[in-house]
């Protein structure tokens, strides 16, 4: 079994990104108006905060665990899914006029997907070298 190679800086940047996403989702549970504009009385605001946390916290925790583990076998799909989720946040931020979600989602999507690309290339090169 092969251990994926990933630079310390890539691990740190992705860990910070996952932590930021988790922190914003936890903050939205406490006060949804911190993350989304609109009145706190709006019924959709609480639902949005709960749905956001329901996916951001477990996904972020899984990504942090995988980044911290010695074997990074599950890291490529986790980074890919995390990047795709952030692209979804970008689309929501753009259509709903939420600048923080648009900018934050773009930055995190780039980080996660670039790292996934780096791992995929490394895997491909390793496979070619052993063939």
Looking at residues 30-46, what average pLDDT do you find? Answer: 74
The answer to whether residue 32 scores a pLDDT higher than 80 is yes
Calculate the CA dihedral of residues 89, 90, 96, 100 and round it to 10 degrees.
90
Which of 27-41, 58-72, 107-121 shows the lowest per-residue confidence on average (mean pLDDT)? 27-41
**What global pTM score does this model have?**
0.87
Are 71 and 48 spatial neighbours (Cβ–Cβ below 8 Å)?
no
Q: Tell me, what's the pLDDT at 68?
A: 94
Looking at residues 3-32, what average pLDDT do you find? Answer: 90
Return mean pLDDT, the chain.
88
């Amino acid at each position: 079994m092969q251990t994926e190679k990933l630079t310390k800086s890539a691990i740190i940047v992705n860990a910070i990104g996952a932590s930021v996403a988790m922190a914003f989702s936890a903050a939205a549970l406490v006060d949804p108006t911190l993350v989304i504009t609109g009145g706190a009385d709006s019924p959709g605001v609480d639902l949005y905060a709960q749905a956001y946390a329901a996916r951001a916290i477990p996904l972020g925790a899984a990504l942090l665990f995988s980044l911290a583990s010695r074997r990074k076998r599950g890291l490529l799909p986790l980074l890919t899914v995390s990047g795709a989720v952030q692209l979804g946040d970008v689309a929501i931020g753009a259509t709903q006029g939420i600048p923080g979600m648009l900018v934050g989602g773009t930055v995190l999507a780039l980080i996660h997907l670039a790292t996934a690309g780096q791992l995929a290339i490394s895997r491909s090169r390793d496979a070619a070298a052993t063939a």
